[in-house]
């Protein structure tokens, strides 16, 4: 038997009604939403279950809602007897991984992710940043293409061997989209208000660094594979620095999955809304077993 890795969903997987059944059926899942609401002074459960798609898609709402949904899903998995050997989370999902591994207290996680969300949104005025998903592009060629267009755009998420997300200035992303289409490369613009995981979010990283100095971090109970280097962290010593870097650095998700596999993980449990990460596993690791809790 191989190891089991738990993966936590990131921004983009959200939808109204996410984890409502878990909230109603499982006290441990309900507690997650209750803690989130108490910590933020607003009803996160009501927002997740009854909010419109437009409301849930606002970055200010999305990040605390998805974090709550991720952690509620993990409570469902644990109630079914699942035991995690490793954790990883895509972008904001990394915070769910850190909570689940004991690095970050649940009560601290929600104010921190709210600050992260608001700092990301304020770092780049709405309309000035953009992101797009590029399909079946060679990473090296895509990085060169990013460098060739006027303005700033770079690879931000290496999600699977067939999908890389780029992020940057809105005009530069539009130029890159046009360049991809000229080369018959499929590309889809992502409807987001924040150009995540690129240097435009340096101000958000600075704000997060200040907040992290006030938060206690602990050594993980099991290894957590981080976005910035795809490597497992086993102590809290360098965690603060890497959490700050994560906001403005590319998400190395393909490398993360491959490193988990190389370290003996053969079963991957996606905790959170949607099945996006399950799809990434299937495209990256052909022999792995991938299961979505939702």
CA distances from 37 to 32, 50, 53, 104, 274 (A): 9, 15, 19, 17, 22
Report the run of H or E that residue 41 belongs to, with start and end.
none
**Beta strand segments in the chain, E:** 3-8, 86-89, 129-135, 153-160, 163-169, 187-190, 224-225, 232-233, 265-271, 289-292
Query: Which pair of structure tokens corresponds to residue 168?
Result: 């940057």
The Cα–Cα gap between 185 and 121 comes to 30
Query: Which pair of structure tokens corresponds to residue 136?
Result: 């079946």
Residue 216 is among the residues annotated as catalytic for this protein? no
Residue 60 is among the residues annotated as catalytic for this protein? no
Task: Say which residues have a Cβ less than 8 Å from residue 33's Cβ, sequence separation at least 6.
Answer: 23, 44, 45, 48, 68, 72
Catalytic residue among 9, 197, 249, 292: 197
Catalytic residue among 91, 167, 193, 292: 91
The Cα–Cα gap between 176 and 183 comes to 11
Which residues are marked as active site?
91, 197
């Amino acid at each position: 038997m191989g190891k089991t890795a738990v993966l936590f969903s990131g921004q983009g997987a959200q939808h109204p009604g996410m984890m409502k059944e878990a909230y109603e059926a499982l006290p441990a899942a309900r507690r997650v939403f209750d803690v989130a609401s108490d910590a933020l002074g607003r009803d996160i459960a009501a927002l997740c279950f009854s909010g419109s798609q437009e409301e849930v898609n606002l970055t200010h709402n999305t990040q605390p809602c998805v974090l709550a949904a991720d952690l509620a899903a993990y409570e469902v998995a644990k109630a079914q007897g699942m035991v995690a050997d490793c954790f990883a989370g895509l972008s904001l999902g990394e915070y769910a991984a850190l909570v689940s591994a004991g690095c970050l207290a649940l009560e601290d996680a929600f104010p921190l992710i709210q600050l992260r969300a608001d700092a990301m949104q304020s770092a780049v005025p709405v309309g000035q940043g953009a992101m797009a998903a590029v399909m079946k592009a060679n990473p090296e060629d895509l990085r060169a293409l990013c460098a060739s267009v006027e303005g700033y755009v770079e690879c931000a998420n290496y999600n699977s061997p067939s999908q890389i997300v780029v992020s940057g200035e809105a005009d530069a992303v539009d130029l890159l989209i046009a360049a991809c289409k000229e080369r018959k490369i499929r590309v889809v613009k992502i409807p987001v208000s924040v150009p995540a995981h690129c240097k435009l979010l340096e101000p958000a990283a600075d704000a997060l660094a200040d907040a992290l100095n006030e938060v206690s971090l602990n050594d993980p109970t099991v290894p957590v594979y981080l976005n910035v280097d795809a490597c497992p962290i086993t102590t809290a010593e360098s965690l603060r620095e890497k959490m700050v870097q994560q906001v403005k650095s590319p998400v190395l998700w393909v490398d993360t999955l491959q490193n988990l596999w190389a370290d003996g993980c053969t079963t991957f449990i996606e905790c959170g809304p949607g099945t996006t990460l399950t799809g990434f596993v299937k495209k990256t690791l052909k022999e792995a077993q991938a299961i979505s809790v939702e």
